[in-house]
Structure 1
Amino acid sequence: MKSVYRLTHWAGLAAALIAGHVAADPACNKTPVPAQSTQAFGRDMIVNGVPTSIVGVQYAGTIDDVSKAFRAYWTREDVPAKGRTSASGVLLSALDGHCLYVLSLPPQPEGCCTRGLLSVIRLDSSPSIHRIADATVPLPEDSRVLSDIESRDPGQTGRTWLLEMPGDARWNARRYRDTLAAQGWRSLGRQPDYQSSRASSTQGTAFAMQLGRESVDVSFSDRDGKTIAVVNATRNR
């Protein structure tokens, strides 16, 4: 669940920089700062309705070195760029026509290198088409979508919703499981309940179900009198 929160956090920061939607440019392939190494988290994603790619990057030098190189590149390209510094690190962005580049650099350990996430967002005025459609997987009743991320990988598509709803986690989980079963989903087994490390009480519950090519892994947990749920749907080609 931590990876979902992390991607959602940075995608949310990026989305906050968008003043409006314009026509999409499918290229969006510039490299503001050459990386020593990269790790693809999702090269073909839809994050809250926006086509996005997110890549882990590692650079030589300090955050200040990388920040200066990022800004210098966009100055040469005559593209406006800006930055924000907070306790969470440095967030750099540049809007190049139809492509928004966002480089997030959290605080770094001493004496190594600089690691971060590079998000490239293709802004589009038309709705994105999900491979796992909204109607394919019914979401829990009374839930509010906090984030919605679809990732397309070779041979498999995944879509993950982070949800909030009123009520107890175990009750919401049981109601959602019954809803899916009534629509023909079959159980793949109940997962172990989440236990608090400081108490013996149950903190949440999880289960998995399948219908045709689609399967879902679901987890429900209590937080501040509400339920937080993660619904992860996958489709194998």
Structure 2
Amino acid sequence: MTDHHHPHQQQGPAAGEEFWDARYSESDRIWSGKPNEVLVREAADLTPGRALDIGCGEGADAVWLARQGWHVTGTDISGVALERAARHAEEAELADRVEWQRHDLAESFPAGEFDLVSACFLHSYGDFPRERILRTAAGAVAPGGVLLIAGHAGGPSWDPDKHAEIHFPTPDEVLAQLELPEGDWEVLLAEAYDQAMTGPDGRPATRPDNALKVRRLR
């Protein structure tokens, strides 16, 4: 399993810093340490500049971007996750290319404009204002820059009815939720796909995911 795969539930208050610090403290590492495949696939042909990784978790995506030549800002609600992310960058000898910032994205957001804003599997527990956060993320994209959003589209193959009560938006629905000004953006990718993964029994499995990639024209 790659980073950022947070289950998503809509009832109750949004999970905060205390919840996520406790979640990350359950083990020495929650995620695989490998970058999300959708990011690797969709950012490989982009010219490195300034990148923002929102919901960066333990830093695998941000470190991968730094290795490709990007100057990266990684942000997460969990200080525990950010400490691990910083260690990951230091071990990769890329600490000078990544800045780590703690933000509860429901309350604050990193300043500045970026050539790439990546929101891979930005799901959380509770009443999480994902649509509003993604609109803010779009506003942080510099002219000519790219916004990449990846999310789950349903339950995994070993439990397809998991989270059946939740509506996972399609790429077209995510695009509509962004409320992008007409003529200012172009859609580069809007697709659903099956992501290969390993099931809890160790056997090959899949999960339906989707991705939206848009470029700001002006």
TM-score range relative to shorter protein: under 0.3
Greater fraction strand: 1
Report the TM-score, using the length of structure 1 for normalisation: 0.27
Greater fraction helix: 2
**Which has the greater radius of gyration?**
1
Q: Which has the higher contact order (CA 8 A, sep 6+)?
A: 2
Report the TM-score, using the length of structure 2 for normalisation: 0.28
